Structure 1
Amino acid sequence: MRFGSVILILAHIAASTAAVGAETIVAFGDSTTAPRSVGAASNGRPAGLSSYGMNQSDITNPPHNTVLSVNETDSHLYVYADMLRDRLADSTYGLEAIDNEGIGGNRTDQALSRLNGDVLAKTPQTVVVQFGINDSAHDAGAGTASRVPLDFNEQSGGDGILDNGNDHPFAGRGNYTDNLTQLVQTMQQNSIDVVLMTPNQVVDYSAVTNDRLSLYADVVRDVAVSESTKLVDVWQIYGDFVADGGTISSLTLDGVHPNAAGHQLVSDALFSLIFNAGPPNGIVGDVNQDGSVFGDGSMAAEVDDVTAFIDGWLTTGHGNHLQMYTHGDLNFDGITNLADAFILHHALVATGSSGLDFRLLTAVPEPRGTTLLLIGLCLLYCKSRPQRTQECNNAPHCSTKCKTIRHLQPPMALLFDH
């Protein structure tokens, strides 16, 4: 076994001793999120759904679905929140609870009215948000007014002025873009990690059509970018399924609401996003989340990722993924340590720099003896082969191998000696 492999195995062992703190996740949405019983009612709609009239009303706090238990698999459908709960509970994620706060027929204006009681009061670390089908629905048929206008232009009737007699029929409900943005911003102000989900595709019927609903899915993507949230693009996931030869009907109970197969696709995507969480902005090593990997420890943390990393060295107990990452916990294992230092080092090398100067870590007050030993070994390791990573990245003959390695979780990926 080579010297580098010994170092990295030691680093992996040291990192693996940290435990992730217990986390509460809230699933916040409409009937595509809510618990439900299995079995069709006389009108073909799944039992447990809120009434059709609920969708059209202005009630601000509609009751939750009557189906609350999800343990009787013979009579209750496992929705994505249940599947995700079971998978995370079986992992090392440290899940405390997943609270399903889906209500059938809910729109974003109603979601705003219950945000405090149904979400913020639970003090979650992560909230999964999915609304849109009810907001987009046009009860008088295609081409008529949706239950919630898409944006301010629609809300104002196209003239940019409210309360002049030309407003959208449901202008008092706000508009989907502003409502969703306000939901996200309020949760972020409460240190909540938000995961937005686009609505799923449907089988067109009189009240809901994909042409109209796709515009609301576009808004979700735009808000995810503007507010820097994570995104699960359920619309695209369903589209990919169809492109591979499947049908929307095979993913839904009634052409609209996901069945077990539809919920499984969503659960798989959420599990991958939440448990194997990547950088909040998608840039590996961008500790300060300013959009680039840069620094050598000589500048302020706002512009220097190395300084930001040193500031978080050996810290623990950060409440959500954004806080973890901005304190240097780049692999989300609950502590900022050498495993994270290697991730930052290689991210810096990829930009053309010489990488992380591990000697900076010895200047942090009161490091443990084992940490000092590993840092010393790291210094020898990095000094002995300073150009190998860059050379490998540029070498055509090992492109396939490198591609595989980049998909492994550091530091174990580094055990493959090129």
Structure 2
Amino acid sequence: MISLAANSQNRVTITNAGYNGNNVLDLLARLDKDVLAKKPQLVVLMIGTNDMLNLRNMLTVEEYKKNYQKLISLIKKHAKLMLMTIPPINVEYLNQRVDPKHYAPGGPQARVDSANAVVKELAIKNKCHLIDLNRILLACGGSTDDIGSLFQNVPNFNVNDGVHPVANGYRVIGTAVYQAISNTYPDVTNIVCFGDSITFGYKMHGEGTITGDPYPAVLSRMFNQ
């Protein structure tokens, strides 16, 4: 993983601690090294897409919830914490790539909805600020097969992805996170963005860093322009 913090001239230090393919268990395994060692004042956490959809890392909803709670408890001992729901998906693309039987009984959308219900429940239980990213991105059109979609698809990226954002999608995410932090924790100066490939910036310019397109890069520019 490439994890690049802001330079000393920046007012707010941002770390991109995303990693492709991770689920909540992977985040628990690298929490100390990739997050707590940075001594953040605030952690912005988004995890669940692989837990629900990636056959190599898929968990039951119960396993996801149990380990997500462990992650929250560990982080909150050291830093403030914001949670994000996971983004919308293009169900048609998912069903083209993966036999739908693997997402039985409800299909991939039901698994995404279940993950987001868990995130909302745990945000309330643990008194964490919640950014309902799924709702925000759905309001901006969601994940479709239109060329103007905020997610990688055949017309705009030549892939039947439907899960990972394009640059405009990351601008929406970065703006939502910036507004939430500015309104809730305006004085923080050391922030770690923790998650999977969606935080990492899969296939985007500057993936894994705070330059280019990933949402941590958008966030860094907004805070330090």
Q: Which bracket does the TM-score occupy, shorter chain normalised?
A: 0.5 to 0.7
1:252–1:258 CA contact under 8 A, matched in 2: yes
The percentage of aligned residue pairs carrying the same residue is 29
Per-residue deviation, 1:121: 0.6
Q: Deviations 1:366-417 (Å, cap 9, x if unpaired)?
A: xxxxxxxxxxxxxxxxxxxxxxxxxxxxxxxxxxxxxxxxxxxxxxxxxxxx
**Superposed, which structure 2 residues align to 1:312-351 within 5 Å?**
none
Matched, 1:274 2:190: no
Q: Deviations 1:172-191 (Å, cap 9, x if unpaired)?
A: xxx1111111111111111x
2:90–2:143 CA contact under 8 A, matched in 1: no
CA RMSD of aligned residues (A): 2.9
2:88 is matched with which residue?
Answer: 201
Q: State the secondary structure of the residue aligned to 2:45.
A: strand
* CA–CA distance in structure 2, aligned partners of residues 256 and 319 of structure 1: 30
1:222 is matched with which residue?
Answer: 121
* CA–CA distance in structure 2, aligned partners of residues 129 and 238 of structure 1: 17
Per-residue deviation, 1:268: 1.1
* CA–CA distance in structure 2, aligned partners of residues 114 and 148 of structure 1: 18
Q: State the secondary structure of the residue aligned to 2:21.
A: coil
Q: State the secondary structure of the residue aligned to 2:140.
A: helix
Q: State the secondary structure of the residue aligned to 1:176.
A: helix
| Pair 148,247 (structure 1): closer, same or farther in 2 beyond 3 Å | closer
How many equivalent pairs are there? 165
Per-residue deviation, 1:113: 0.7
Q: Deviations 1:310-356 (Å, cap 9, x if unpaired)?
A: xxxxxxx9999xxxxxxxxxxxxxxxxxxxxxxxxxxxxxxxxxxxx
Instruction: Identify which of 71, 75, 79 aligns with 1:183.
Output: 71
1:150 is matched with which residue?
Answer: 61
* CA–CA distance in structure 1, aligned partners of residues 49 and 40 of structure 2: 25
1:241–1:247 CA contact under 8 A, matched in 2: no
**Superposed, which structure 2 residues align to 1:32-47 within 5 Å?**
none
2:30 is matched with which residue?
Answer: 114
Per-residue deviation, 1:248: 3.6
* CA–CA distance in structure 2, aligned partners of residues 103 and 139 of structure 1: 17
Counterpart of 1:197, as a letter, is M
2:17–2:34 CA contact under 8 A, matched in 1: yes
Deviates more, 1:207-216 or 1:220-229: 207-216
* CA–CA distance in structure 1, aligned partners of residues 168 and 64 of structure 2: 28
Higher-RCO chain (CA-CA 8 Å, sequence separation at least 6): 2
Per-residue deviation, 1:129: 0.6
Per-residue deviation, 1:211: 2.1
Runs of at least 4 residues of structure 1 off by over 6 A?
Answer: 317-320
* CA–CA distance in structure 1, aligned partners of residues 176 and 189 of structure 2: 22
Counterpart of 2:179, as a letter, is S
Per-residue deviation, 1:247: 4.9
2:222 is matched with which residue?
Answer: none
| Pair 248,195 (structure 1): closer, same or farther in 2 beyond 3 Å | farther
* CA–CA distance in structure 2, aligned partners of residues 212 and 100 of structure 1: 26
* CA–CA distance in structure 2, aligned partners of residues 134 and 247 of structure 1: 17
Q: State the secondary structure of the residue aligned to 1:251.
A: coil
Q: Deviations 1:132-189 (Å, cap 9, x if unpaired)?
A: 110002639xxxxx711111xxxxxxxxxxxxxxxxxxxxxxx111111111111111
Q: Deviations 1:94-123 (Å, cap 9, x if unpaired)?
A: 41x111110000000111011111111110
1:130–1:198 CA contact under 8 A, matched in 2: yes
* CA–CA distance in structure 2, aligned partners of residues 240 and 139 of structure 1: 28
Instruction: Identify which of 144, 150, 155 aligns with 1:251.
Output: 150
2:52 is matched with which residue?
Answer: 136
Per-residue deviation, 1:275: 1.4
2:47–2:86 CA contact under 8 A, matched in 1: yes
Q: TM-score, normalised by structure 1?
A: 0.36
1:238 is matched with which residue?
Answer: 137
**Superposed, which structure 2 residues align to 1:247-396 within 5 Å?**
247-249=143-145, 250-253=149-152, 254-277=161-184
1:213 is matched with which residue?
Answer: 112
1:132–1:199 CA contact under 8 A, matched in 2: yes
Which consecutive unaligned segments of at least 5 residues does structure 2 have? 153-160, 191-225
| Pair 138,272 (structure 1): closer, same or farther in 2 beyond 3 Å | closer
* CA–CA distance in structure 2, aligned partners of residues 225 and 196 of structure 1: 10
1:201–1:248 CA contact under 8 A, matched in 2: no
